[in-house]
Amino acid sequence: MAEILKIYTFPESVLRVEAEPVQEIDEDLQKLIENMGETMYDAPGIGLAANQIGVTKQLLIYDTAPRTNGRKMGVLINPEIVHGEGKIVHDEACLSVIDFSAEVTRFANVQVKGFDRNGRPVQLDAEGLLAVCLQHEIDHLKGVLFIDHISSLKRALYKKRLKKMLMKSQSSEPE
């Protein structure tokens, strides 16, 4: 049975670590994929990179299909953007960046290659929301957050607000 894992949140340092390539697709990796899926759906989110749950491996999962269509989880191991074109501005949020969203400019169309959960080569041609999602999750594997794509002023304001939120939550915790 899959379990729900802790999702690390900014400013935790694991989110800034560049993930290592997956060397072996084994039973442990399959279990990790299942747990990541359960965690993503529970959150709820449309994508999750391994370092968001504290594992610095190049592994991500995604599902941009409407929830009413059931689960259609995709898995990419050692993903790489091989081509991108056009521009799209999308309001992004992140399971690791609490209580914040911002417009981010990304490629409108991307071609991504990697491997599926069985080690078979995969090449995806993605556009729109899926393209945004894949770029967002691949950024995570490089230690980059979507807030790194916004202006330094917006980022500073978010950090200031987050600091206040964290101080408030710490002061309201029982001792």
Q: What is the CATH number of the domain that holds 125?
A: 3.90.45.10
Catalytic site positions? 137
Does some domain include residue 175?
no
Cα separation, 51 vs 17, whole angstroms: 8
What lies within 8 Å, CB to CB, of 86 at 6+ separation is 107, 108, 109
Range of the domain at 118: 13-170
Does some domain include residue 105?
yes
Does some domain include residue 40?
yes
pLDDT digits (tens, 9 = 90+) for 85-128: 999 999 999 999 999 999 999 999 999 999 999 999 999 999 99
Does some domain include residue 43?
yes
Per-residue tokens: 114? 């990697």
Per-residue tokens: 155? 């980022």
Neighbours of 30 (CB within 10 A): 13
The per-residue pLDDT string of the chain (175 residues; one tens digit each, 9 = 90 and over) reads: 889 999 999 999 999 999 999 999 999 999 999 999 999 999 999 999 999 999 999 999 999 988 777 788 999 999 999 999 999 999 999 999 999 999 999 999 999 999 999 999 999 999 999 999 999 999 999 999 999 999 999 999 998 998 898 888 787 666 5
Does some domain include residue 84?
yes
Number of domains in the chain: 1
The H or E element that residue 42 is part of is helix 27-42
Does some domain include residue 3?
no
Chain centroid to CA 171: how far? 30
Does some domain include residue 87?
yes
Q: Are 86 and 128 in contact (CB under 8 A)?
A: no
Does some domain include residue 1?
no
